[in-house]
Amino acid sequence: MTRSTRALLRTGALGLVTATALSGAVLHARSLSAPIPPAPASLGQAMAMAMASGSFRKAEAPVTGGFSISEQGGKTVLTLSGDFKTNDMAPDLKVIFSPSATPLAATKAPGFPLKPGSYTVLASLKSSKGGQSYVIPASIDLKAQKSVLIWCQKFNATMAWAPLKA
């Protein structure tokens, strides 16, 4: 290689590095060897790391969707899926837990009424459709719960239920 060829290559390489740096495409050398920090958790990641989950099944009313239970910000949270939907005409709907994995086995259609003391109320249902979250208080022992239900307290009618799967 001649002296003028080496000078041309050096100048060309320097020009390429300068142009790239000016365009903002050059990364700092430190960032190439530094570990990449984890991305913030998304709802999808939270659902993937669920402590428990389930898909709702019809009781008195047609239902779609499911739920997951996960830790979020140091709290235990039950989250209904975005495709959740149940009877929008039923009044006084509640999200409840049952210690039975088959809570409807001890009741009869069409309303599937529940016996007093056979469930624990988590909260009033915020909406008959769509994703929604509920903080589960420490007073509810999740280890003792085997299913999640959507229940009409006014008429003691179970709209939907889902077994809790860890």
Render pLDDT for 83-99 as a digit per residue (tens, 0 to 9): 999 999 999 999 999 99
**Tokens at residue 151, please?**
């229940």
Give the DSSP letter of residue 51. S
Instruction: State the chain's maximal CA–CA distance in angstroms.
Output: 96
Query: Is the model more confident about 81 or about 11?
Result: 81
- Region 131-145: mean pLDDT is 96
User: What average pLDDT does the segment 36-62 reach?
Assistant: 67
Determine the pLDDT at residue 20. 39
Residues 7, 2: Cα–Cα separation, whole Å: 9
Question: 10 Å Cβ neighbour count for 76?
Answer: 17
- The pTM of the full predicted model, rounded to 2 decimals, is 0.70
> What pLDDT shows up at residue 110?
87
User: What would the mean pLDDT of 63-81 be, rounded to a whole number?
Assistant: 96
Residue 46: the pLDDT is 42
Mean pLDDT score across all residues of the chain? 79
Mean pLDDT: which of 9-13, 25-29, 125-129 is highest? 125-129
Amino acid found at 110: P
